[in-house]
Structure 1
């Protein structure tokens, strides 16, 4: 059963990401970002494909500067895979669905 992608804010980050039972893929995006629009289908696919072992959240960068600064997001779209408060994957820029799923497979297969 897929929970889909959850939209969060700075205030929700600790509870939704750092205290999560599963690894969390954080998708940083912006409404004005054209490449982010290209990336959204891949993020939604990952949320569906890995719903049993991965939580997927998205955070708009402009209204959430604290988390953006803490995780050193310098460009969007950006991804951070976080588990037990550690960053396992950090990417910036568009990556294709196949590359995203391969990255996730690499890190989630050990769980």
Structure 2
């Protein structure tokens, strides 16, 4: 279980910018810690390494559930509840909607 004040997710097939956490913390700090849930932008790469057009990708998928985009206050996650493992799939999306009800979000 994570022990820090903020939680960030990363799957084994994800890659991220070198200073991702620092970049995500910036709006939290600049707002006087008003925000407790940061959702950052992302890029998608094809199997050949080319960048996929985000607009086309968004029309075909549900990117809200990409937890690699999230940085959130640990207490927010505990208050909203953890992932519902009884969900057959897209448990990230279901969690997002619970978090959204309680969060001060910065996109």
Judge same fold: TM > 0.5, yes or no.
Answer: no
- Over alpha carbons, which structure has the higher Rg? 2
TM value normalised by structure 1? 0.30
| TM-score when normalising by structure 2 | 0.31
